[in-house]
Structure 1
Amino acid sequence: MSQFIPYGRQDISQEDIQAVIEVLRSDWITSGPAIAQFEKAVADYCGANYAVAVSSATAALHIACLALSLEKGDSLWTSPNTFVASGNCGLYCGATVDFVDINPQTYNLSVEELERKLVSAKKEGCLPKVVIPVHFSGQSCEMEQIYQLSHQYGFKIIEDASHAIGGKYQGQPIGSCQFSEMAVFSFHPVKIVTTGEGGMIVTNREDLYEKLIRLRSHGITRNPQLMKGESDGPWYYQQLELGFNYRITDIQSALGISQMQRLEEFVLRRSQLAKRYQELLQGFPLTLPWQHPDTNSSWHLFVIRLKLEQISKTHRQVFEALRQGQIGVNLHYIPVYRQPYYQRFHYQWKDFPHTEQYYQEAISLPLYYGLTEIQQDRIIVDLTDILKH
């Protein structure tokens, strides 16, 4: 039987292993100096003023919303073509969540649909407090236009850049926060850089940074300047708000620091593999990924769409045939509003025609740093055979 090819996987070097061993042998394995070093590495790479490392990108989205005072009575809008965390973070805060249909070329949140929906919401007096554009597959949303709309309609922006570290928008690193209050990264093992589990928030605003630092650790501060009243002594701390235990460890941060040194190498290899897919799949009954000229994707995913009218198999049959051939394709994503938990909010699927069409056709092919050209050739041969028969 052929060896299984996953859709994504981490690449751990001997240097990564050594970095973790050094922390394990040090005085700190959690809440020590490696965390600040990891934060600096990401902030410096992105050109952001501040970074806050946390236990996951979900935790990052949650406290980013809290830092903007999202609460009951408020509304958060995001893309339906994302993992459920992009919406859940609003529900955690007691806010309502709504979705904006996707651009049929980029699969990101559609600026045109966002504007149309904002015009309608303004008339009804129900504008969003926060909008979360999701940089799907590593390609940036059209952030300048979204930023302009934020000034016109008064919402704040959190970039869900979970897929996108190493990508660029208008020549600047994703995460520079030029057009947002904050951006969030994920370091899950299938992402471009991994810490096992982990996330990061970057921002240029000191007030948000100070609040995020507290929220990731129970709402506690040891800074006398932020305390109410006098300090009782050097042991003293105060809980100023209801925070969470969303801390990351030094062990994870050491791995992150080491991985960040190879970020450009990771993105370059993914880009080479994506380009090769594009070249070898020309002429297939497929829609291949399109790249907006303002963007340089970090290529977290390579998503094909089946031209079902040109083939004799269904979406599911193609997907299952690839899996049976030990090719670990996936589907990113099931529209969030289709989830049973979200159905209680009575979304109308007809309001998201581009998302629905995408969901009926999309398949994520394997793409990761360690994927070989021999494996990629096998994927294409199997896909060719499936589509022809």
Structure 2
Amino acid sequence: MIPYGRQDISPEDIDAVTQVLQSDWLTQGQAGPRFERAMADYCGARSAAAMSNATAALHIACLALDLGPGDILWTVPNTFVASANCALYCGASVDFVDIDPRTYNMSVAALSEKLAQASTQGRLPKVVIPVHFAGQSCEMTEIRALADRYGFRIIEDASHAVGGDYLGRKIGAAQLSDIVVFSFHPVKIITTGEGGMTLTNDPRLGERLAYLRTHGIVRPSQAAPVDAARSNEDRYGPWMYEQIELGLNYRMTDIQAALGASQLGRLDAFVARRRELAARYDALLAKLPVTCPWQHPDTNSAWHLYVIRLQRNEIKLTRRQVFEALRAAGIGVNVHYIPVHTQPYYQRLGFSTGMFPEAESYYQDAITLPLFSKMTDAEQDTVVAALTKILS
């Protein structure tokens, strides 16, 4: 079976993890801060905070922006459920903005219209989470302008987009948002096994993200310089810690961080190969009754996913028949994503099918083809040959 995604682990990655395993620190040592600093420098952000996974990072990002009961968060239906669940963890409400029919990202037109309506109703969101689907950035300049007009905060869910670019800057620079979230799951661009990260340019947010993921605890002896008059106070002893907020234990281990830092050294190579494979898919699939992913000229995708849409009016098979035939042929296709608002839990919250037609239409046609950095041309040819045979 050719999987839709697969990690790429090198001997250097294994050596980096082994060094941590042979050290005195398996967690809360120096590997975590080194990984955070390396990723912040790579993206051009002021600070980064590594987390146990991207869902934890989304949750902490919401907490850091004081999202809570009575507040509303908006995101898109075309995402994994974590992008919406993070609001519910904070006691806030969730609503959705439909997607653009070409990029499958948050539609700026739909967002603008929904904000105008919400403004008249006194129901504006406190936080909006645009999701950079498949590795392509949302139209962040336009979303930032709407945030400035209507006063909401922005968390970029860039779980798919590590190594991607927007308007010549690395995704993760957080120039047009409050916080950016990355994922390091094994099928993502780089991996820490499980893992996530927040990035920000706001010093206060950076501090808060860091201590909220560590039980809400700070160490006063490290928080500020201690003058001679206070140096003997117990409060400033090297053992002292203080819980200043109700945080969580969402830390990343040094084992994970060492793997992530090692993988980061090959990130550009990973993304370059994914871009080669995406361009090759575009050429190989050009004559088939499928719609290939469209790319906005302001973006340069990291290509976490390569999603085609079946042109169902030109083929006799259903999406399920094509999907099952590909699986039977040893092609590990997948579907990203079942619209969140159609999930049973969200239906019980009052959402229903038909509310976000673009996301629902997209879902009916979508199939994710295999794409990963170690994928060979021969494997890709096998995928295309199988799809060609099935559709013909």
* TM-score bucket of the superposed structures, by smaller chain: over 0.9
AA paired with 1:216?
A: R
Counterpart amino acid of residue 72 in structure 2: S
Aligned to 1:219: 216
Decide which of 8, 11, 26 is 2:23's aligned counterpart.
Answer: 26
Alignment root-mean-square deviation, CA: 1.2
Matched, 1:186 2:183: yes
Structure 1 residue 326: deviation in Å?
Answer: 1.1
Residue identity opposite 2:335 in structure 1: L
Q: How does 1:172-251 map to 2 (within 5 A)?
A: 172-224=169-221, 225=223, 231=235, 233-251=237-255
Whether 1:385 aligns to 2:382 is no
Q: Which residue of 2 aligns with 1:363?
A: 367
Q: Distance in 1 between matches of 2:43 and 2:275?
A: 19
Aligned match for 1:284, one of 266, 279, 288:
288
Conservation of the 8 A alpha-carbon contact between 2:220 and 2:235: no
Q: Distance in 2 between matches of 1:265 and 1:50?
A: 24
In 2, Cα distance between the equivalents of 1:36 and 1:220?
Answer: 17
Separation in structure 2 between the aligned mates of residue 172 and residue 121 of structure 1, nearest angstrom: 32
Counterpart mapping for 1:300-319 below 5 A: 300-319=304-323
Q: 1: CA distance between counterparts of 2:160 and 2:304?
A: 6
Which residue in the other structure is 1:101 paired with? 98
What is the CA-CA distance between 1:133 and the residue it aligns to?
A: 0.2
Give 1:350 deviation, angstroms. Answer: 2.0
Aligned match for 2:324, one of 320, 324, 343: 320
Note if 1:159 corresponds to 2:156.
yes
Q: Which amino acid aligns with 2:135?
A: G
Give distance in 2, aligned partners of 1:130 and 1:237: 31
Amino acid at match of 2:18: I
The answer for the alignment partner of 2:355 in structure 1 is 351
Q: Between Structure 1 and Structure 2, how many residues are aligned? A: 384
Corresponding residue number in structure 1 for 2:73: 76
Hey, what does 1:39 align to over in structure 2?
36
How many angstroms does 1:233 deviate by? 2.4
The residue type equivalent to 1:153 in the other structure is Y
User: How far apart, in 2, do the equivalents of 1:8 and 1:232 lie?
Assistant: 49
Q: Tell me by how many angstroms 1:292 deviates.
A: 0.1
Ranges in structure 1 where 5+ consecutive residues have no aligned partner: none
Look up the SS of the partner of 2:9 in the other structure.
Answer: coil
Task: Tell me the alpha carbon deviations over residues 176-205 of structure 1, each in whole angstroms, 9 at most, x when there is no partner.
Answer: 011000100000000000000000100000
TM-score (norm 2): 0.96
Q: How does 1:8-27 map to 2 (within 5 A)?
A: 8-27=5-24
1:263 aligns with 2:260: no
Equivalent residue in structure 1 for 2:117, among 117, 120, 123: 120
- Please say if 1:341 is aligned against 2:345: yes
Identity, in percent, stands at: 62
The letter of the residue matching 1:294 is D
TM-score, normalising length from structure 1?
0.97
1:295 paired with 2:299, answer: yes
User: Counterparts of 2:282 and 2:170 in 1: how far apart (Å)?
Assistant: 24
Residue range with higher mean Cα deviation, 27-36 or 349-358: 349-358
SS at match of 1:64: helix
Give the secondary-structure state (helix, strand or coil) at the position aligned to 1:349. coil
SS at match of 2:309: strand
What is the alpha-carbon distance in structure 2 between the residues aligned to residue 84 and residue 223 of structure 1?
Answer: 37
Seen in structure 2, the aligned counterparts of structure 1 residues 341 and 348 have a Cα distance that, compared at 3 Å, is: closer
Match of 1:372 in 2: 376
Secondary structure in structure 1 of the residue aligned to 2:354: helix
SS of the residue aligned with 2:235? Answer: coil
Partner residue of 1:49?
Answer: 46
Which residue in 2 is equivalent to 1:168?
165
Partner letter of residue 219 of structure 2? Answer: R
CA contact (8 A) 2:220 2:236 kept: no
Q: Deviations over 1:286-306 (max 9, x none)?
A: 110000000000000000000
**Aligned-pair distance for 1:44?**
0.4
> Tell me, what secondary structure is at the counterpart of 2:199?
strand
Gaps (5+ residues) in structure 2?
Answer: 227-232
Residue 234 of structure 1 deviates from its aligned partner by 2.0
Instruction: Return the alpha-carbon distance in structure 1 between the equivalents of residues 192 and 6 of structure 2.
Output: 12
Deviations 1:331-388 (A, max 9, x none): 0000001111111111243221110110000000000011111111111111001001
Match of 1:132 among 117, 129, 133: 129
